């Protein structure tokens, strides 16, 4: 009897997933990992959509990101009223402008970040040359960089020259980079 009952209980759970007349519109279980969709009305609460997958909501005023699972009007309302109380009730156009400003700020930051990553690469390249030529590590700071800056001032412009000055080439930095490169080569 018991065995019969167990088998009967198992049946609907195991094989018949599709034919089972499950309710199509299941109630959203908030604790589940269901992916929430960004709704355009969220911008009226100061939140735009991130480009991530799954999409998250990001405050256009301070940049705070709400995880997908927390993308609910109740959280957005609370954020707006506690962190930006002076902007409660502002029209959606206001947040649209803020969103545009925020996006262009992010673009600027990304540009700066990519320049500094180039500076880092340049720093490694210079260190490698110094090591290869067996020159004292101070040569980068005393001669190479000043020479690069002078040359680009003459041949290009002061903007380029200023950008070159962001390349880290101090004595200690060059030593560290060479150790880094050497440990890579030994492996
Ligand atoms: Zn905010």
**Domain hosting residue 141, numbered range:** 117-182
Q: Are residues 102 and 124 in the same domain?
A: no
Residue 24 lies in a domain: no
Query: 26 in a domain, yes or no?
Result: no
Q: Are 127 and 84 contained in the same domain?
A: no
103 domain-assigned = yes
Q: Determine the distance separating the centroid of ligand 1 and the alpha carbon of 38, expressed in angstroms.
A: 17
Specify whether 159 is located in the same domain as 98: no
Q: How far is the CA of 36 from the centre of ligand 1 (A)?
A: 20
In-domain check, residue 5: no
Residue 21 confidence (pLDDT): 54
* Domain edge (last residue) among 62, 96, 113: 113
Residues 105 and 147 in one domain: no
Is the residue at 21 inside a domain? no
Distance 40 CA to ligand 1 centre (A): 17
93 is a domain residue:
yes
Furthest-apart CA atoms within the chain: distance in Å: 95
CA angle 77/79/81 to nearest 5° reads 65
Same domain, 121 and 178: yes
Kindly state whether residues 105 and 135 are assigned to the same domain.
Answer: no
Q: Ligand 1 centroid to 87 CA: how many Å? A: 10
Contact 66, 75 (CB under 8 A): yes
Domain endpoint, select from 83, 113, 143? 113
pLDDT truncated to tens, each residue of the chain (187 aa)? 444 444 444 444 444 445 555 555 555 555 557 899 999 999 999 999 998 889 999 999 999 999 999 999 999 999 999 999 999 999 999 999 999 999 988 888 887 777 788 999 999 999 999 999 999 999 999 999 999 999 999 999 999 999 999 999 999 999 999 998 888 775 5
Q: Rounded to the nearest whole angstrom, what is the distance from the C-alpha of residue 28 to the centroid of ligand 1?
A: 26
Query: How many domains are there within the chain?
Result: 2
Which string of DSSP letters, residue by residue, matches 70-125? G--HHHHHHHHHHH-GGGTT--HHHHHHHHHHHHHHHHHHHHHHHHHHHHHHHHHH
Does any domain span residue 95? Answer: yes
CA 71 – ligand 1 centroid, Å: 14
Last residue of a domain, one of 98, 113, 128: 113
Has residue 126 been placed in a domain? yes
């Amino acid at each position: 009897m018991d065995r019969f009952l167990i088998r009967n209980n198992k049946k609907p759970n195991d094989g018949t997933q599709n034919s089972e007349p499950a309710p199509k519109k299941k109630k959203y279980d908030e604790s589940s990992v269901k992916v929430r969709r960004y709704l355009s009305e969220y911008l009226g609460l100061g939140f735009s959509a991130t480009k991530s997958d799954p999409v998250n909501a990001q405050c256009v005023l301070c940049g705070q990101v709400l995880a997908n699972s927390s993308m609910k009007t109740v959280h957005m309302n609370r954020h707006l009223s506690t962190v930006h109380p002076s902007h409660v009730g502002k029209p959606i156009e206001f947040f649209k402008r803020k969103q545009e400003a925020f996006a262009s700020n992010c673009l600027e930051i990304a540009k700066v970040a990519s320049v500094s990553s180039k500076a880092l690469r340049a720093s490694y390249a210079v260190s490698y040359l110094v090591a290869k030529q067996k020159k004292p590590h101070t040569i980068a700071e005393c001669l190479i960089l000043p020479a690069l800056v002078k040359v680009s001032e003459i041949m290009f412009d002061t903007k380029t020259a200023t950008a070159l000055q962001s390349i880290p080439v101090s004595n200690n930095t060059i030593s560290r980079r060479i150790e880094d490169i050497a440990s890579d080569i030994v492996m």
